[in-house]
Amino acid sequence: MAIHDFPLQGDFIELNVLLKLIGLAPSGGAAKAMISEGAVRVGKAVENRIRRKLRVGDIVKLGDETIRIINHGTEKT
């Protein structure tokens, strides 16, 4: 199980873009497929909105991977 902290630089990031940037999806199409198949959770709920806007404090889960959306500048070095 891996936990990733993603430092958010703007107001939000779309779910499909996040999966691609973190490297959990090899392409945008693969990210869309994972989301559409119900493999992704935001909080405790299965998320099927491909472009769901994620904000600071959101937690995304895909299999054994967890991504925490944090404020830019608060990531651990």
53 has a pLDDT exceeding 60: yes
pLDDT at 62: 96
What CA–CA distance (Å, rounded) separates 58 from 37? 20
Which residue ranges form the domains of the chain, and what is each CATH number? 2-71 (3.10.290.10)
pLDDT digits (tens, 9 = 90+) for 6-48: 999 999 999 999 999 999 999 999 999 999 999 999 999 999 9
What CA–CA distance (Å, rounded) separates 9 from 11? 7
Q: What is the pTM of this model?
A: 0.89
Output the six-digit token pair for 23.
């490297």
What CA–CA distance (Å, rounded) separates 68 from 60? 7
77 has a pLDDT exceeding 90: no
Q: 15 near 50, Cβ under 8 Å?
A: yes
SS3 63: coil
pLDDT at 47: 97
